[in-house]
Structure 1
Amino acid sequence: MKSIHTIKTIRRPIRTAFAVLAVAAVPVGAVAVPAVAGANAAASSSTTCPTGWGSLPEANTRVSTATLEAVRTGRHACFDRVVFDIAGKPPGYTARYVSNVFRPGAGHLVPLRGGAKLEIMLGVREFDEAGHWAFQPTHESSVTGYRTFRQVEYAGSTEGAAWIGLGLRARLPFRVFTLAGPGAGSRIVVDVAHRW
């Protein structure tokens, strides 16, 4: 019996020595790198998006003699964006959810794709200083592949105001802000979030 106990005692230190050598043989970076790389990949695929926006009307009553020059759209990780390029200082604006968008003056329905409609009014002049149309709308900007935008449509204008309708996937939070430039111009930006 004493010999069996001795063999077990000898085997235990040998097993422990092999375990220590096996762990020591693995480079430290080989264990840590995949875990860190996986964490970075997960962090980059999940973007933190702002949550402080709402869906109530936004307005600015600023008076301006500016004209609308262009309408551009863009996609971002957290929102879709429409930018109105303005020749001059930022004009007043309103942005609000409506049941339908109508052409100003005539009152004809502007059909928009999507589950929600955002009406944007810009306090801009229709004509430049020479009496020419300041903005030639294409009536539709391509928003194919956008997560939130379904359609951007120029609804029309009256003296001192232009209306644009946004067809959206659903009623989602939005924000409106102005930016200076380029040059003496300005921009009005409308962002609509992808989710609440």
Structure 2
Amino acid sequence: MKRSRTVWTAVALLLTALGASALPAEAATAATTRTTVCPTGWGSLPKAREAGTSTPVRNVRTARHTCYDRMVVDVPGASRSALGYSVGYVAHLYQDGSGREIHVGGGAVLEVRISAPAYDPETGKPTYPAEAGHRLPGVDLTGYRAFRDTRFAASFEGDTQLGLGVRTRLPFRVLRTDGHLIVDVAHSWNGTP
């Protein structure tokens, strides 16, 4: 009887020790498995703002975030209020001026149009080294959840036209800051990253 009481006491002490040491690990596991809730109220309808600038586009870059993929069009020197745009899903991307179809990979295509040239208005010399129908220079979409492809369509009559291929028709938003037009595409509709 004494021996079984000793065994049960040892088992109880061991379980207490394990339980006490497991609590911080359980708390850490719970903290790491907690899901981030992402905004999904952006919708997928076209978005536009009237404005325009002669300040030229200098670069286009992308970034991955927890809830969305981001494209940034750099227009250094342009004020936020001068950056006009039109962004919306299209069945096909047609080049301004020629009407030629530009193939953009992905399940859906966002046409991104910014009211700024990709050339110097005085000399006509390109300020952004992109070619019509080709991928955007310096943009690598490896590891992106929403983005699939980028294409330069044209810079025609003061507007620059880009194609952004995404996985499927997803919610997006457009932001303006001084010198930047930003397009964020959510990873999902349901708010999970």
What range describes the TM-score normalised by the shorter chain of this pair?
A: 0.7 to 0.9
Question: Aligned partners of 2:109 and 2:16: how far apart in 1?
Answer: 64
Give the counterpart of 1:116 among 108, 111, 114: 108
**Which moved further from structure 2: 110-119 or 123-132?**
123-132
Shift of 1:24: 8.9
Question: Aligned partners of 2:140 and 2:11: how far apart in 1?
Answer: 63
Aligned match of 1:37: 28
Change (3 A) 1:58 1:26: same
Question: Aligned partners of 1:173 and 1:25: how far apart in 2?
Answer: 50
Q: Does structure 2 conserve the Cα–Cα contact (< 8 Å) formed by 1:126 and 1:159?
A: no
Change (3 A) 1:159 1:41: same
3-state DSSP of counterpart to 2:24: helix
1:167 maps to 2:156: no
Aligned match of 1:94: 86
Shift of 1:65: 2.2
Mapping 1:36-115, distance limit 5 Å: 36-43=27-34, 46-87=35-76, 88-90=78-80, 91-115=83-107
3-state DSSP of counterpart to 1:166: strand
Instruction: Give 5+ residue unaligned stretches, structure 1.
Output: 1-9, 181-185
Question: Aligned partners of 2:60 and 2:100: how far apart in 1?
Answer: 22
The percent of aligned pairs where both chains have the same amino acid is 36
Give the counterpart of 1:188 among 158, 165, 181: 181
Aligned match of 2:147: 149
Any idea what the Cα deviations from partners look like across 1:21-58, whole Å, max 9, x if unmatched?
Answer: 62696277413112112112212xx3221122100011
Q: Higher RCO, 1 or 2 (CA under 8 Å, sep at least 6)?
A: 2
Counterpart AA for 1:137: A
Shift of 1:160: 1.1
Q: Does structure 1 conserve the Cα–Cα contact (< 8 Å) formed by 2:119 and 2:155?
A: no
Counterpart AA for 2:33: A
Question: Aligned partners of 2:16 and 2:165: how far apart in 1?
Answer: 61
**Which moved further from structure 2: 21-30 or 77-86?**
21-30
Instruction: Give 5+ residue unaligned stretches, structure 2.
Output: none
Q: Does structure 1 conserve the Cα–Cα contact (< 8 Å) formed by 2:79 and 2:177?
A: no
Aligned match of 2:119: 127
Shift of 1:142: 2.4
Aligned residues: 179
Q: Does structure 1 conserve the Cα–Cα contact (< 8 Å) formed by 2:58 and 2:118?
A: no
Aligned match of 2:176: 178
Change (3 A) 1:163 1:129: closer
Question: Aligned partners of 1:49 and 1:25: how far apart in 2?
Answer: 39
Question: Aligned partners of 1:177 and 1:120: how far apart in 2?
Answer: 12
* Superposed structure 1 runs of 4+ greater than 3 Å apart: none
Q: Report which of the two structures shows the higher radius of gyration computed on alpha carbons.
A: 1
